[in-house]
């Protein structure tokens, strides 16, 4: 497609200004993370010198590496758990015929209407009764079954021609082998999308880890950040922002690496 | 093999047929006649409501598809999009835990036969329709199953490629001696490929037999119009025993030999004649045999000419070889022989008289010498 020069300039102007708007908070946080307290209070945008003092402080004050590791473990296990549970559920909803399948599916989907916060208290009690407070399974297990993920994968699985299923039946593939050797590779894009979605959601989760963790052992990084804020009366924003920058690095990495797959997967789900 | 099915909803009923080993058997019929369902029942993808399906001497009603020792080619090819051509071909062998070296060998051999050697490393989406079709075929052949099922495998190809693949499939089937069960809605495919064909209509067998026998002696008006292009011309007719004549479409009266008129029943009949049996009248033909018809449409196909005319309320077509310069609206004389007609009972559709005089269109080898 060819566009005239003025139009191009206009489009680029719009893109740059909107991306600046969207990215401004992150940039500002990045700059603040290098500022000293007085500098910040003066309302400056650019720090006088790029000192790494705040970063050293944040690692001093908090077991940040420990928190990061916890967050990573929790996010990865939720991601894997979601992929396993959702893909198996979606497989059943598409390829196995049983009575009341559609009804069960819509019941399943309708749970998307219930906000997560509404079910949080009962969930918390369940975890408490299981004596799973301050454990990884307490943090991860409630998120394995995801209606949205099942829906997303089901939509993709439905686009797989049933002849593939029949051909593999004739070839002598068992139900699970068909799932593993045909369905999963064919739906790679959707799986990547769901995986990234699951990872990021869990990484950014705040309320649930706050309820479930009472000590440092499995506490995640988002709670750690909050701790930085409330520890003292006069919050050192520079230190907090340094923490924030450390925390969003994995998120950004994931976004840059998986951008193409993510786009493909999401638009596929939207079109079908 | 013998099988007879009887599905409750009567999608298919009273099918009873034996398919010989090494035979190319074609199931043909209009869409929705149950031919694909029947094939899927043989494959084990659809359950059999009643009756028995035997493969060899074994009752196969409840065998799972992979235990029936057959391969299948689907209309949309059903290639695995994430695997290369090579992997697609060997997929079935891999599942059956055939050794890797043997897999390679057999895949290379089959690819050679089908001219796929250069494409083994490609993914299905990088192939053209014809190449995909050949990969699907290769996948079926490589399994070395004695039975191969095909469900309209050529319907997604263009006309030229289709004609090429027709001969190709036939050649491979002959070479390997596979029993082929082939589903199509295209009567040309059925006529050209089948050792025997079965014509299905609304889930019931209309006729089973060699293509040429079916063409010459269709069992009922449905088969008569389904096989052959243009289809057989049909018209209601009655016998006039006093005059020893048969009245076709209330217009055409043809004399019938007196020994034959006795055998024709009183009730209403359907008379049918192939377009190529309507002959042009020549100058020396006796005037009383000529029938003048008004041409309503002309198609000149280069080597033959098809034109339509009205006979009573029916539009009939005649097919003459060569290029005939006929204009729409012309009145031309034609000759119609009683002998070339098939007669069907109008109510039941049963054939009561075969066409006996195939005159100018059937030749033996001795003509050539």
Per 3-state DSSP, chain A is made up of helix, strand and coil in percentages (nearest 5) of 75, 0, 25
Contacts of A157 in chain B (CB under 8 A): none
Predicted pLDDT of residue A152? 92
Q: Are residues B185 and B272 in the same domain?
A: no
Q: Are residues B136 and B284 in the same domain?
A: no
> Please, how many CA atoms are within 13 Å of residue B189, restricted to the half-sphere of its CB?
31
- pLDDT score of A231: 57
Nearest CA in chain B to A172: B66
How many beta-carbon pairs under 8 angstroms link A with B? 56
One domain, residues B149 and B247: no
Same domain, B63 and B143: yes
CA distances to B307, B341, B344, B351, B360 from B277, rounded to whole Å, are 13, 9, 17, 18, 8
Q: Which domain holds residue B344?
A: 231-368
Q: Are B247 and B124 in the same domain? A: no
pLDDT at B2: 64
Q: What is the 3-state secondary structure (H, E, C) of B10-56?
A: CCCEEEEEECCCCCEEEEECCCCCCHHHHHHHHHCCCCCCCCCEEEC
The verdict on a CB contact (< 8 Å) between B82 and A172 is no
Return all residues near A268 (Cβ < 8 A) that are at least 6 apart: A156, A189, A190
Which H or E run includes A87?
helix A64-95
Q: Within this chain, do residues B339 and B308 fall inside the same structural domain, yes or no?
A: yes
Position B46 pLDDT exceeds 50: yes
- CATH number (domain holding residue B273): 2.40.50.140
State yes or no: ipTM above 0.85: no
Distance from the B42 Cα atom to the nearest Cα atom in chain A, whole angstroms: 11
- Cross-strand pairs, B209: B197
Same domain, B195 and B285: no
Q: Is the pLDDT of residue A20 over 80?
A: yes
CA–CA distances in Å: residue B70 to residues A171, B50, B67, B126, B354: 9, 22, 8, 28, 39
Same domain, B201 and B308: no
Single residue among B186, B221, B256 that ends a domain in this structure: B221
Same domain, B187 and B298: no
For residue A174, pLDDT over 80 is answered with yes
Residue B101 lies in a domain: yes
Share of chain A above pLDDT 70, in %: 94
Do the domain assignments include residue B141? yes
Instruction: Determine whether the interchain pair A173/B95 forms a contact, defined as Cβ–Cβ distance below 8 Å.
Output: yes
List chain A residues with CB under 8 Å of B70: 170
Of A69-73, A115-119, A266-270, B90-94, minimum mean pLDDT range = A266-270
Q: Residue B317: inside a domain, yes or no? A: yes
Domains of chain A: 29-271 (1.10.3720.10)
Instruction: Evaluate if pTM is beyond 0.90.
Output: no
Among the listed residues B97, B131, B95, B91, the one whose alpha carbon sits nearest the alpha carbon of residue B114: B131
Closest-approach residue (CA) in chain A for B97: A172
If one compares B297 and B358, the residue with the highest pLDDT of the two is: B297
Measured between CB atoms, does B78 come within 8 Å of chain A?
A: yes
In a domain, B95, yes or no: yes
CA distance B110 to A88: 36
Length of chain B: 369
Instruction: Output the DSSP codes for A6-36.
Output: HHHHHHHHHHHHHHHHHHHHHHHHHHHTT--
Q: What average pLDDT does the segment A26-31 reach? A: 88
Q: Give the residue from B203, B221, B239 where a domain finishes.
A: B221
Q: Which 3 state secondary structure label does DSSP give B97?
A: coil
Encode pLDDT of A69-125 as tens digits: 999 999 999 999 999 999 999 999 999 888 999 999 999 899 889 888 888 899 999
Q: What is the mean pLDDT of chain B?
A: 86
- Measure the CA–CA gap between B104 and B296, rounded to whole angstroms: 61
Question: How high is the pLDDT of residue A11?
Answer: 94
**Residues B22 and B104 grouped into a single domain:** yes
Residue B107 lies in a domain: yes
Contact A166 B72 (CB under 8 A): yes
Residue A54 pLDDT:
85
CA atoms within 13 A on the CB side of B80: 26
B226 part of a folded domain? no
Whether residues A170 and B91 touch (CB distance < 8 A) is answered with no
Q: Give me the torsion for CA of A145, A147, A153, A158, rounded to 10°.
A: 130
> Does residue B47 belong to the interface with chain A, where contact is any CB pair within 8 Å?
no
Q: Chain B closest CA to A242's CA: distance in Å?
A: 44
Q: Does residue B48 fall inside a structural domain?
A: yes
Nearest Cα residue to A54 out of A248, A236, A249, A250: A236
User: Are B250 and B354 within one domain?
Assistant: yes
- How many domains does chain B contain in total? 2
Measured between beta carbons, the chain A residues lying within 8 angstroms of B143 are 171
Question: Which of A28, A98, A44, A60 minimizes the C-alpha distance to A245?
Answer: A28
**pLDDT mean over B179-200:** 92
Question: Chain B residues with CB inside 8 Å of A156's CB?
Answer: none
Residue A265 clears pLDDT 70, i.e. is over it? no
Within-domain flag for B191: yes
CATH at residue B98: 3.40.50.300
Tell me which of B221, B241, B264 is where a domain ends: B221
Q: B148 and B287, same structural domain?
A: no
Report which of residues A177 and A260 the model is more confident about.
A177
Flag the least confident range among A1-5, A74-78, B38-42, B204-208.
A1-5
Model confidence at B298, pLDDT cuts 50, 70, 90, reads: very high
């Amino acid at each position: 497609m060819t566009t005239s020069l003025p139009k191009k300039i206009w489009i680029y102007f719009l893109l740059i200004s909107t991306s600046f708007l969207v990215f401004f908070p992150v940039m500002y946080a990045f700059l603040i993370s290098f500022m000293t307290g007085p500098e910040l209070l003066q309302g400056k945008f650019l720090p006088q010198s790029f000192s790494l003092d705040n970063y050293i402080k944040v690692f001093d004050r908090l077991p940040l590496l420990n928190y990061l590791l916890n967050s990573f473990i929790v996010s990865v296990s939720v991601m894997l758990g979601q992929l396993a549970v959702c893909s198996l559920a979606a497989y059943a909803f598409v390829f196995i015929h049983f009575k009341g399948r559609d009804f069960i599916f819509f019941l399943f989907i309708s749970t998307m209407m219930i906000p997560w916060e509404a079910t949080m208290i009962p969930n918390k009690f369940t975890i408490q009764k299981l004596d799973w407070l301050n454990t990884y399974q307490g943090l991860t297990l409630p998120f394995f079954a995801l209606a949205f993920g099942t829906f997303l994968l089901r939509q993709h699985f439905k686009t797989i021609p049933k002849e593939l299923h029949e051909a593999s039946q004739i070839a002598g593939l068992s139900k699970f082998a068909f799932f593993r050797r045909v369905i999963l590779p064919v739906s790679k894009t959707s799986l990547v999308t769901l995986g990234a979605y699951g990872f990021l959601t869990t990484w950014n989760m705040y309320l649930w880890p706050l309820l479930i963790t009472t000590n440092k052992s499995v506490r995640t990084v988002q709670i750690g950040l909050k701790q930085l804020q409330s520890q003292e009366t006069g919050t050192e924003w520079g230190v907090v922002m340094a923490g924030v920058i450390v925390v969003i690095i994995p998120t950004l990495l994931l976004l840059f690496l998986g951008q193409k797959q993510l786009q493909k997967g999401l638009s596929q789900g939207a079109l079908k | 093999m013998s099988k007879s099915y009887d599905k409750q909803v009567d999608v298919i009923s009273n099918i009873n047929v034996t398919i010989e080993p090494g035979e190319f058997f074609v199931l043909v019929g209009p869409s929705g006649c149950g031919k694909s369902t029947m094939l899927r029942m043989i494959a084990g993808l659809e359950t059999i409501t009643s009756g028995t399906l035997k493969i060899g001497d074994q009752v196969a009603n409840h065998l799972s598809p992979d235990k029936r020792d057959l391969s299948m080619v689907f209309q949309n090819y059903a290639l695995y999009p994430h695997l290369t051509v090579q992997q697609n071909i060997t997929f079935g062998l891999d599942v059956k835990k055939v050794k890797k070296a043997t897999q390679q060998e057999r895949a290379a051999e089959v690819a050679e036969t089908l001219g796929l050697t250069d494409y083994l490393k490609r993914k299905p989406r990088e192939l053209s329709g014809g190449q995909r079709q050949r990969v699907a075929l290769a996948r079926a052949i490589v399994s070395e199953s004695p039975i191969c099922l095909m469900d309209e495998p050529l319907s997604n190809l263009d006309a030229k490629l289709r004609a090429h693949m027709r001969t190709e499939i036939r050649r491979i089937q002959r070479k390997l001696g596979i029993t082929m069960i082939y589903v199509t809605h295209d009567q040309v495919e059925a006529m050209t490929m089948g050792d025997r064909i079965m014509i299905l209509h609304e889930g019931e067998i209309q006729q089973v037999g060699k293509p040429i026998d079916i063409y010459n002696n269709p069992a009922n008006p449905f088969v008569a119009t389904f096989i052959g292009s243009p289809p057989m011309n049909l018209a209601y007719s009655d016998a006039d025993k006093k005059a020893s004549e048969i009245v076709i479409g209330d217009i055409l009266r043809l004399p019938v030999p007196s020994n034959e008129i006795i055998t024709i029943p009183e009730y209403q009949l359907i008379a049918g004649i192939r377009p190529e049996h309507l002959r042009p009248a020549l100058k020396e033909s006796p005037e009383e045999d000529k029938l003048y018809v008004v041409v309503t449409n002309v198609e000149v196909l280069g080597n033959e000419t098809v034109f339509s005319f009205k006979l009573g309320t029916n539009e009939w077509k005649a097919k003459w070889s060569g290029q005939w310069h006929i204009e729409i609206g012309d009145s031309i004389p034609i000759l119609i022989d009683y002998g070339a007609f098939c007669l069907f009972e109008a109510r039941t559709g049963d054939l009561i008289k075969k066409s006996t005089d195939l005159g100018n269109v059937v030749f033996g080898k001795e003509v050539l010498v």
